[in-house]
Amino acid sequence: MRTRTTGAIALAAAAALTLAACGGGDEPGGTGATGGGDGGEGEGGSLTIGIKFDQPGLGFMEGEEPSGFDVDVAKYVAEKLGYSEDQIEWVEAPSAQRETLLSTGQVDMIFATYSITDERRETVSFAGPYFVAGQDLLVAADNTDITGPEALEGKNLCSVTGSTSAQRIKDEHAAGVNLLEQPGYAECVTALVAGQVDAVTTDDIILAGLGAQPANQGKVKVVGNPFSEENYGVGIPKGEVELCEEINTALQEMIDDGSWEEFVRANTEGTGYTPNESLNPPEFQPCS
């Protein structure tokens, strides 16, 4: 029997064996991902994956079925690790809670537009990256004036409360831009379609995912002039090098067999968006 080597999985497997030996079949077992049987690592076990629940096109929970690019990548990796879709438990992973979810063992891995940074590496480890995004602009489909952040001088730009993206444009590119705050990016796109703002800004693939929603298709477009780099990685518990390497192997297979390109296209259809070809598909960073 092949057994997962992560700390959470090893502990869960050991707990399950102990309970079985003591005749405690009615007692609850571990909650981490567990392997079992000769049919693969996921047989009889589960995999807990953190995703965003509120990012259409990336990670969006509608009813009980999640959708989006991050979700497609997560399902692909899970299958390569030996887990079927019905063995995945999806957990909401808001940006501010991702490190806590991993360090406390509430999730086995996270796919949630999770940018790899040195600060985060102090607490968690990363596989990948599986995508390199960049801050960009979403504008009306017929807008030909706004081609980059400098063109926003005197324009109205939607800013999500608590986000630094719009403020960065004001500080570094267009001091005269007018910022309109909204609680979320979906509300920003609604304001854009209604003509209340001239542009929305955040990572390009997030903008493309929003633009691909049926209500927005054909009405908005991604400018396609990114001005930052954000490496989206798979968050895993700190120091899980072997798990990182297994995930990277799965990610490479996803790229090689064309699934990566298919997932991008399916979740950004109708927006005219294409990833930055000089950065994507990305090169993986060393596991540590």
Give pLDDT, residue 42.
64
**Residue 5 — pLDDT band, cuts 50, 70, 90?**
very low
**Residue 12 — pLDDT band, cuts 50, 70, 90?**
very low
Give pLDDT, residue 244.
98
256: in domain = yes
Give pLDDT, residue 41.
62
Range of the domain at 170: 135-222
156: in domain = yes
- CB neighbour list of residue 23: distance below 8 Å, 6 or more residues apart: none
State the residue for tokens 């209604």.
194
Strands 109-110 and 47-51, sheet pairing:
parallel
CA distances from 147 to 143, 152, 223, 238, 239 (A): 9, 9, 6, 41, 42
CATH number of the domain at 160, please.
Answer: 3.40.190.10
Q: How many domains does the chain have?
A: 2
Largest CA distance in the chain: 72
Instruction: Answer yes or no: do 240 and 100 share one domain.
Output: yes
Angle at 66 between CA 30 and CA 278, to 5 degrees: 105
Which of 163, 192, 222 delimits the end of a domain? 222
What is the total residue count of the chain?
Answer: 288
> Per mean pLDDT, which range of 79-93, 98-112, 126-140, 270-284 is the poorest?
270-284
Percentage of the chain beyond pLDDT 90 is 74
27: in domain = no
Asked whether 141 and 216 are in contact (CB, 8 A), the reply is no
Token output for 143? 């807008």
Asked whether 82 and 43 are in contact (CB, 8 A), the reply is yes
> Per mean pLDDT, which range of 28-32, 65-69, 163-167, 237-241 is the poorest?
28-32
Asked whether 276 and 226 are in contact (CB, 8 A), the reply is yes
Give pLDDT, residue 270.
80
Instruction: Answer yes or no: do 97 and 151 share one domain.
Output: no
Strands 199-203 and 135-140, sheet pairing:
antiparallel
The HSE-up count of residue 159 (CA atoms within 13 Å, CB side) is: 18
pLDDT tops 90 at residue 52? yes
Angle at 211 between CA 209 and CA 217, to 5 degrees: 130
274: in domain = no
Instruction: Answer yes or no: do 235 and 127 share one domain.
Output: yes
Q: What does the pLDDT look like over 75-96, one tens digit per residue?
A: 999 999 999 999 999 999 998 8
125/123 Cα distance (integer angstroms): 7
Give pLDDT, residue 43.
65
Peptide bond into 237 cis (omega under 30): no
243: in domain = yes
pTM over 0.75: yes
12: in domain = no
Q: Provide the β-strand partners of residue 199.
A: 157
2: in domain = no
